């Protein structure tokens, strides 16, 4: 079983739906997940799976969108800088 930690990106399956977000808080056998739309849910650790944490170019765009939804200006700037640096290496 893969361990899950605060800050990990996860998916959770239940009631016929799958949600994606990051672990905001660990609560023993449950976690609080901050979803992509900013909503927070509590999920049993049994239904949570850690996502692949390899950062692909399209993931960076999604994370930038997520930072804007959350209103996290610092994270937005960090991601934008990373995207700029990656683009500079490619061209």
User: Domain total for the chain?
Assistant: 2
Q: Tell me whether residue 72 is in a domain.
A: yes
pLDDT level of residue 75 (50, 70, 90 thresholds): very high
Q: Tell me whether residue 4 is in a domain.
A: no
Residues 36 and 13 in one domain: yes
Q: Tell me whether residue 2 is in a domain.
A: no
The helix/strand/coil state of 16 is coil
The residue range of the domain holding 73 is 57-90
Question: Are the CB atoms for 42 and 27 separated by under 8 Å?
Answer: yes
Place of tokens 């739309």: 37
- For residues 91 and 89, what is the distance between their CA atoms, to the nearest angstrom? 6
Q: Tell me whether residue 3 is in a domain.
A: no
Residues 24-65: tens digit of each pLDDT:
999 999 999 999 888 999 999 999 999 987 778 788 899 999
| Burial call 48-84: b when 16+ CB within 10 Å, e when fewer | beeeeeeeeeeebeebbebbeeeeeeeebeebeeeee
Residue 73 has pLDDT above 50, yes or no: yes
Residues 13 and 46 in one domain: yes
CATH code, domain carrying 30: 2.30.30.140
- Number of helical (H) and strand (E) elements in the chain, helices listed first: 2, 5
Place of tokens 């700037």: 77
Residues 80 and 63 in one domain: yes
Residues 20 and 46 in one domain: yes
């Amino acid at each position: 079983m893969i361990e899950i930690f605060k800050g990990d990106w996860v998916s959770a399956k239940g009631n016929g739906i799958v949600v994606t977000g990051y672990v905001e808080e660990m609560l023993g056998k449950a976690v609080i997940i901050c979803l992509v739309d900013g909503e927070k849910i509590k999920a049993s650790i049994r239904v949570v799976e850690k996502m692949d944490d390899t950062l692909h170019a399209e993931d960076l765009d999604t994370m930038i969108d997520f930072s804007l939804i959350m209103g996290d200006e610092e994270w937005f700037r960090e991601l934008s800088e990373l995207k700029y640096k990656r683009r500079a290496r490619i061209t």
